[in-house]
Amino acid sequence: MTLFSSIFGVTAQQIDQIKILEPTNYKNAINNKNVQLIDVRTSGEFNSGHIKNAQNVDIFKRKAFVAYFKKLDTDKPIYLYCRSGSRSQRAAKLLVKLGFKEIYDLKGGYLNWKSK
């Protein structure tokens, strides 16, 4: 185990599979194709505003969260976001464990999205 992985609890493989995108790049990516776009915030947060076409899958509802993602195509890119980026990073690490190969996370989350 490397120093990096022991400090941050991630492996090099996870780092390769999870990409953090600036809002402009994220917007371009989700607007240019039919993507798996997931908001991992609570339903209350989602209902107060979200990115168009996003599905709400609350990371705090762990069983339902895992069950939802087991139905998705692990070979297809997935785009995640939360309020500020913390929960979506946790979700991304969980998705690596579930077999997803290409995960994109919105840098700074929905707060950063709204401010741009």
Q: Give the other-Cβ count within 10 Å of 111's Cβ.
A: 13
SS (H, E, C) the chain: CCHHHHHHCCCHHHHHHEEEECHHHHHHHHHCCCCEEEECCCHHHHHCCCCCCCEECCCCCHHHHHHHHHCCCCCCCEEEECCCCHHHHHHHHHHHHCCCCCEEEECCHHHHHHHC
Q: Which residues are catalytic?
A: 82
Task: Tell me if 60 is assigned to some domain.
Answer: yes
Percent share of the chain, pLDDT over 70: 87
pLDDT of residue 90: 95
User: Where is average pLDDT lowest: 7-11, 78-82, 89-93, 98-102?
Assistant: 7-11
Based on the structure, what is the number of domains in the chain?
Answer: 1
Q: What is the pLDDT of residues 37-80, one digit of tens each?
A: 999 999 999 999 999 999 999 999 999 999 999 999 999 999 99
Q: Is the pLDDT of residue 29 over 90?
A: yes
Q: Is the pLDDT of residue 92 over 50?
A: yes
Q: How far apart are CA 70 and CA 20, in angstroms?
A: 22
Q: CA 30, 34, 72: angle at the middle one, nearest 5?
A: 105
Domain that holds residue 106: 18-115
Q: Is the pLDDT of residue 19 over 50?
A: yes
Task: Tell me if 10 is assigned to some domain.
Answer: no
Q: What is the CATH number of the domain that holds 64?
A: 3.40.250.10
